[in-house]
Structure 1
Amino acid sequence: MNCHANHCIKCTVQQCKNHCANEDYCALDCITVGTHELNPTMDQCTDCKSFELK
């Protein structure tokens, strides 16, 4: 895949289809961030809803 890194979105999730392998950036123009908690209080409570498994 020819990846065009979006330097506004840092990402280290190498299992994601949108991750640029040579750099720790996402290839998407924008992402959606959500939560799986009713009352999120820590960063672990948030999720990248744009994640797609390779």
Structure 2
Amino acid sequence: MQHNNSIHCTVTECKFHCNSDNYCVLSEINVVKNINIASSIECTDCGSFQKK
């Protein structure tokens, strides 16, 4: 499957990780907060993640 040059990803455990390089194969991702008010990068997650 062809990767999306706009979405760099190193999460090899994700179903959408391109196996040949560190990119995502999705055309877009959903970024979500993991707390009510995000104040740092640690407060956000990729909501599109699915375990392989």
TM-score, L = length of structure 2: 0.93
Question: Percent same amino acid among aligned pairs?
Answer: 40
Which consecutive aligned stretches of 4+ in structure 1 deviate over 2 angstroms post-superposition? none
Q: CA RMSD in A?
A: 0.7
Once the two structures are TM-superposed, the CA of residue 38 in structure 1 deviates from its matched residue by 1.0
Which residue of structure 2 lines up, in the alignment, with residue 12 of structure 1? 10
Unmatched runs of 5 consecutive residues or more in structure 1? none
Unmatched runs of 5 consecutive residues or more in structure 2? none
User: Alignment length, in residue pairs?
Assistant: 52
Once the two structures are TM-superposed, the CA of residue 47 in structure 1 deviates from its matched residue by 0.7
Tell me how far apart the structure 2 counterparts of residues 48 and 26 of structure 1 sit (CA, whole Å): 11
Residue correspondence of structure 1 range 23-34 to structure 2 within 5 A: 23-34=21-32
